[in-house]
Every structure is written in structure tokens, then in C-alpha cells.
Amino acid sequence: MSALRRGRAALFGRRPRTVPARPAPGEVLVRAEDLHVRLGEREVLAGIGLSAYAGEVLALVGPNGAGKSTLLGALAADLPADSGTVYVDGRPVSGWTAPELALRRSVLPQSAALSFPFPVADVVRMGRAPWAGTALADADEESVAAAMAAAEVTGFAGRPFSALSGGERARVALARVLAQRAPLMLLDEPTAALDLRHQELVLRVCRERAAAGDAVVVVLHDLGLAAAYADRVAVLHDGRIAAAGPPSEVFGDGLLSRVYRQPVEVFPHPRTGAPLVVPVRAEAKGEPAGNPCGPRNADGDLTSA
């Protein structure tokens, strides 16, 4: 089977590619150096310096419009840098061809679309396309099955993509990215469309990949998820990195309140000690004693408790 594939690849003039070796733990898989990106008139990224290492989950957080998705797009080589450089696997992204990059990083876009109603299994199998013609193509079926199990989409493998709900589509897209098995995973808001259980599932899968030696860069809105699952977080604010480091060090009341323009409280989880981020709210609702919004009588006066 693989000999046949290789023969076909040679016939169609595909250049044989060298499969990259597995990264050593702690190796830099993607690095941005003084990265500036303009979208139209606006400078969305204004001097970003950031690295992601093999074996870690790096979360990008920040308010709307801070430049999280733009940074991810620049790391994925979707958006050209205005100045500065993005290095993937030690080489500037402009120095790689599309097929070479596909062996080194996978990308989960914010929204999953499909022009034609391919069945779910076929969509996930598309993630294996970069390996066609290489020795690792033999692992295709096994990786597809493992990825579908990990994202919990095995149950609707035969259904057309167009018949799925938003959350199911998001998980199929994730399964496709997992099946690609690139050492660097870039995920743009993978939990946006998901319910509680599947949000946890996705982040757990990220942790597993990191434990296996991959680098996972993930854009998150939920600071609780970031605090619980990321080795490091980078807080973006106005196109710059306001702070980067382990969540327990970075997540402080002052920084988050300023960046999100919303007073927050940060306190350790009573059992795990992971930082919990809660917005400061005026009053909790429905408190029994001394509550000015308590039950009232027919005249609108407060009834005595």
C-alpha cells in the first residue's frame, strides 16, 4: 500500500519531503521576534516577542480586539509580518513551503466551514493529507481513529458534516487537527462553541499532547480554563504582551482589572490552589437577610423578614 502511494507521489512529481524528527523536550517550536502586523490602517500587533516550547500548553488571553487571533494567524503563517519574524522549527516561516509547514504545525481556525457535505470520517482523514507519500502515511487509519475517539466524534463518523450542530462541527475540526499530528498545534478558540464537558475535554486533550512532547498554543476567553490547564499564559493588551508566565504568577487582580477594564478578584481554588478569576459584582442576588430587593407586600413596601 505504502509502496503504491510512494510510486503515485513520484509519478505526480511531488518532491519527496524529509519528515521532521520529533522535537526534544523544551525545544523552541515557534518563536515571534519583535513582530508587527498591520491589518489595513490599524497596527494590530505592535512588537510581540514570544516562544512556544515542546511539551507545554501556552494560552493566549486578552480582551476582544487585543490581537490574540492575529497573533495566532501570524504564527500560522496566514498573515504576513509587517516587520519582525516568525520562526517555525528554527526557520523563518517564509523559508518553508506549504507542504513543509504542514508537517510541522497544525491550525484550528475559529469557525469550521465546508463547501460540500463530506462525511465526518472523510473530513478527519483530510488531516492526514500532509503525510501522503511519506513513511508516516501508514499511520493514517490509526491516527484518524485515535483523533476521532479523542474528540468524541466516532459516534457520527458516517454522518455528513453539514448535518452536525455547531459544537459537533467544532469537535470534528479539532479531530482533523489532531489527526494531522504536527508537533506544533495552534488552536483559535477551540472551546467557543462547546458545552462544559467538551470544553474540559478539549483542554485535557491539549494537556495530553503537551505531555507527549508537542507544543500547544491556544487562544482562550475563559480565564479559568487558562489557569487550570496552561503551563504559561500570555496576556495580550493593545497588540502587546502585557504579561507572560505561569498563571499563578501572571493572573493578579491589578493586571487583569486594568487589561479587561473590569474589576476582578483572583483567589486560589480551595482544593487545587489554581487561581480562580471572578468579576467583582455589585451584590449577589437573592440573599435572604438585609436584602433591599427582598419580598415586598402589596403596597410595594418591604415585608418584614
Partner 1 sequence: MTLPCDPPRGGAAARDTGTAPPPSPRAPGGAAGPGRPRRALWLAAALVTVLLVLALVSAGVGAYRIPTADVLASVQHRLGLGGAPLDRVGESVLWNVRLPRVVLAVLVGASLGCAGALMQGVFGNPLAEPGVIGISAGSAVGAVAAIGLGLGFLGNWTVTACAFVAGLFTVGAVYLLSRNGGRTEVVTLILTGIAVNAFAGALIGLFVFFADSGQVNQITFWQLGSLAQATWPKVLAVLPCALAGLIAAPLYARRLDLLALGERPARHLGIDVERLRLALILVVALLTAAAVAVAGVITFVGLLVPHLLRMANGPGHRFLVPGSALAGAVVLAGGDLAARTVAAPAELPLGVLTALIGSPFFFWLLRRTRRRQGGWA
Residues that bind partner 1 (CB under 8 A): 12, 19, 21-22, 76, 78, 97-103, 105-107, 109, 113-119, 121-127, 129-130, 132, 135-136, 139, 141-150, 152, 154-155, 157-159, 178, 180-183, 201, 204-205, 208-209, 212, 214
Q: What is the DSSP string of 146-177?
A: HHHHHTT-GGGTTSBGGGS-HHHHHHHHHHHH
Ramachandran quadrant class, 106 (left: phi over 0; alpha: psi -120 to 50; beta: rest):
beta
Beta strand spans in the chain (E): 28-39, 42-53, 57-61, 83-88, 91-92, 105-108, 184-188, 215-219, 232-237, 240-245, 264-268, 275-279
How many angstroms separate the CA atoms of 182 and 213, rounded?
A: 11
How many angstroms separate the CA atoms of 63 and 52, rounded?
A: 21
Which residues are CB-neighbours of 195 under 8 A, at least 6 positions away?
167
Q: Which residue, 169 or 232, is less far from partner 1 as judged by CB?
A: 169
Q: Which residue, 100 or 253, is less far from partner 1 as judged by CB?
A: 100
User: Least distance from C-beta 19 to partner 1, angstroms?
Assistant: 6
Cα atoms found within 13 Å of the Cα of residue 152, Cβ hemisphere only: 13
Q: Which residue, 58 or 185, is less far from partner 1 as judged by CB?
A: 185
At 143, is the secondary structure helix, strand, or coil?
helix
Whether 82 contacts 36, CB under 8 Å:
yes
Q: Which residue, 154 or 291, is less far from partner 1 as judged by CB?
A: 154
User: Least distance from C-beta 212 to partner 1, angstroms?
Assistant: 6
User: Least distance from C-beta 180 to partner 1, angstroms?
Assistant: 7
Q: Which residue, 35 or 180, is less far from partner 1 as judged by CB?
A: 180
User: Least distance from C-beta 85 to partner 1, angstroms?
Assistant: 19
Q: Which residue, 214 or 266, is less far from partner 1 as judged by CB?
A: 214
User: Least distance from C-beta 127 to partner 1, angstroms?
Assistant: 7
User: Least distance from C-beta 191 to partner 1, angstroms?
Assistant: 15
